[in-house]
Structure 1
Amino acid sequence: MIKKIAVIGAGTMGHGIAETFTLYGYSVNLFDVNAEVLEKAKQQIREELSGLVAEDYTSVADADAALARIETVTDMAKAVADRDFVIEAAPEKMELKQQLLKSLDELAPKHAILATNTSSLSFAEMCALLSEDRKKRTMVNHWYNPAHLMPLVELSFFGNMPAEIYEEVAALYASVEKQTAKVLKDVPGLIANRIQQGVAREAFSLIEKGVAEPADIDIALKFGPAFRYATTGQLEVADFGGLDIWCVVGDNLLQAMDNSTQANPMLRKKVSEGKLGLKSGEGFFQYPPEKIAAIRQKFTHRLIHQLKASREYI
């Protein structure tokens, strides 16, 4: 039974993963080689927990207890020595992941399950340096950002591990109110990112063709397909609409839609101009520096409300 957890990497994803587990009562060691990154992560977790308290998602007492259950560690051997489950959230670089998993194989207890938060790298290649026994206890656990708010975690079941180990991890995620999607094949992007890229490709293409302004495209998505997607999956939507109708519409529309296999040139141009979105102050929309904090807060507020509503739906 999984009781003690280590998270390797305290950046954007790692701190949120640690925060989630500790909020539900798990002991978490949060590792990073950089003590300053760990201190920043602890502060960010503190602020995010305060946001959950403000939205009545959790209590002050539970938030304080969650923070107390996180131990920040700069020694990897110490971080994983007594852990049952170790998830790495390092940058998406193959050699780095390979060496990191190899080190975890050597340092973690034999019974420990290893997981990687990758969404784009080959799982088999990442595991190339692992012992055969450890390969049976290693898997992909892909979280969505922000990790403490998004309910989805994609779990790999690629044939390398026994079903009972998979079920043990799935039960762990159920205990922290995550919805898990079982991925049966090792493909780039897994499930959710591939679907998201398909939607994004057409949205970018519509802007490039001058069909609508960015704000109107987002309105069409938020209050059209995405409104249903909050509670209804695409395949369920198709069943309710009628597969015969979807077949006819597909024949009519797909031939006229974007089928490019690279990032949209307009998107690439914005990147080259330094227009990266919220973090640079401009992307498809403007983000004045003095308003960024409020914009982030409003974004988080919306997600917390969706998360609270999803408890009733699930």
Structure 2
Amino acid sequence: MMLKKIAVLGAGTMGHGIAESFAIHGYEVNLFDNDATRLAIAKEEIEAELELLALEKFIEPGVVQSILNRITLVTDLKQCVIDRDYVIEATFEEIGLKQELFKTLDELCPPHTILASNTSTLQLSEMTKYVSVERKEKVIVNHWYNPAHLMPIVELSYFGNMPDSTYGQIEKLYESIDKTTVKVLKDIPGLIANRIAQAIAREVFSLIEMGAAAPEDIDKALQAGPAFRYATTGHLEIADLGGLDIWYTSVNNILKDIESTTEPSKLLKEKVNEGKLGIKTGEGFYKYEAEEVLLTKERFNKRLINQLKAMKKMAEIR
């Protein structure tokens, strides 16, 4: 069967963007939160993000209101999920909370409903501990990246609990909203993309700690170097194009000096302890004036929108 009716649980940073993504592509979405104020804020955030997409000519200005109309705000969980085909939870990363939520969803949802979690750190088998045997075949991890309405990746779990036909339905659902799916074969913390990102982050923080370069130059090195290629090409293809013998020699020469700690960066810990949490506190590795915060976020989103445009063009070349 086709998955048509969507529900998203949690109207925070990730949840509102997930709901927005489906609504943009014509799906009717119930967005749940037990906080009515949070729901109202989420609707405002979605509208602002859609207006920016229209301004950047990624969607037509005339469709903004119709997209908003496809999102129904709900504070009653039963009402939200009672007729849904696909339910995504984007709640706090707390195992007890998710176990109770999935147990409740198993009871409230129709037998055919597929349940999904946006987690990248909690085990699927643990989250579904109190779910019926029949429903366990219809539960998946679908990990989105922030901002969800712009980042094209969704990681999907393929851990042996689900028939291929059900997995295929979910894959087609994400294809219909222009998402790039990654089939994750092992239930490992961080899944795939986050583990790659953390490996890069560990070395970036280490380079700052050793004084190898200023933060802005380290960011420039990543943007104009590896990340420039990664925007269009995966690492394994890059290795093939460069020559595996060259990569072997490079790894053999450099790897022993690369940061290998299993502890968080001391510098990162200091920043957190000092309350320098980034843009939300006005300072992290960079400083942010209060009047520049919204503009900084908008510029970031504009860059992602332009990358999406470029990605569509690149698909024609591949």
TM over 0.5: yes
What does residue 36 of structure 2 align with? 35
Q: Report what 1:52 is aligned to.
A: 53
1:144-185 deviation digits (Å, cap 9, x = unpaired): 000000000000000000001111000000000000000000
Q: Which residue matches 1:258?
A: 259
Q: Which residue number in structure 1 is paired with residue 233 of structure 2?
A: 232
Matches within 5 A, 1:175-186: 175-186=176-187
2:96 aligned with 1:99: no
Is this contact kept in 1: 2:55–2:61, CA < 8 A? Answer: no
What is the distance in 2 between the residues matched to 1:262 and 1:42? 39
Aligned residue identity for 1:291:
E
Letter in 2 for 1:190: L
Match of 1:62 in 2: 63
Q: Residue by residue, what CA displacement relative to the aligned partner does 1:210-238 show, whole Å, maximum 9, x if unpaired?
A: 10000000000000000000000011111
Q: Return the alpha-carbon distance in structure 2 between the equivalents of residues 253 and 114 of structure 1.
A: 44
Structure 1 residue 260, shift from structure 2 partner: 0.5
SS across alignment from 1:111: coil
Percent identity between matched residues is 56
Q: Distance in 1 between matches of 2:92 and 2:298?
A: 26
Which residue number in structure 1 is paired with residue 282 of structure 2? 281
Distance between the aligned counterparts of 2:268 and 2:143, measured in 1? 25
Counterpart CA distance in 1 for 2:264 and 2:183 is 28
Amino acid at match of 2:218: I
* Cα deviation digits, residues 1-42 of structure 1 (max 9, x gap): 101000000000000000000010000000000000000000
Asked if 1:15 corresponds to 2:4, the answer is: no
What is the CA distance between 1:308 and its match in structure 2? Answer: 1.1
Partner Cα distance (2:146, 2:107) in 1: 29
Within 2, Cα distance between the matches of 1:282 and 1:194? 26
TM-score w.r.t. the length of structure 2 is 0.98
Residue 155 of structure 1: aligned partner? 156
Equivalent AA in structure 1 for residue 185 of structure 2: L
Q: 1:61, CA displacement in angstroms? A: 2.3
After TM superposition, the runs of 4+ consecutive aligned structure 1 residues lying more than 2 A away are: none
| Residue aligning to 1:75 | 76
Q: Distance in 2 between matches of 1:46 and 1:211?
A: 43
Number of the residue aligned with 1:220:
221
1:60-87 deviations in Å (ceiling 9; x for gaps): 2222111000000000000001100000
Task: Determine helix, strand or coil for the equivalent of 1:170.
Answer: helix
Q: Letter of the aligned partner of 1:303 in structure 2?
A: L
Give secondary structure in 1 for the equivalent of 2:222: helix
Structure 1 CA distance for aligned equivalents of residues 173 and 280 of structure 2: 34
User: Please, which moves more after superposition, 53-62 or 184-193?
Assistant: 53-62
* Residues 129-149 of structure 1: per-residue CA shift (max 9 Å, x gap): 110010000000000000000
Structure 1 residue 55 displacement after superposition = 0.3
What's 2:204 paired with? 203
Describe the SS at the equivalent of 1:155. Answer: strand
1:118 and 2:133 are equivalent in the alignment = no
- Unaligned ranges ≥5, structure 2: none
TM-score by length of 1: 0.99
Greater mean alpha carbon deviation, residues 142-151 or residues 120-129:
120-129
CA-based RMSD: 0.6
Distance (Å, rounded) in 2 between the aligned partners of 1:125 and 1:208: 37
> In structure 2, what is the equivalent of residue 291 of structure 1?
292
CA distance in 2, matches of 1:40, 1:296: 17
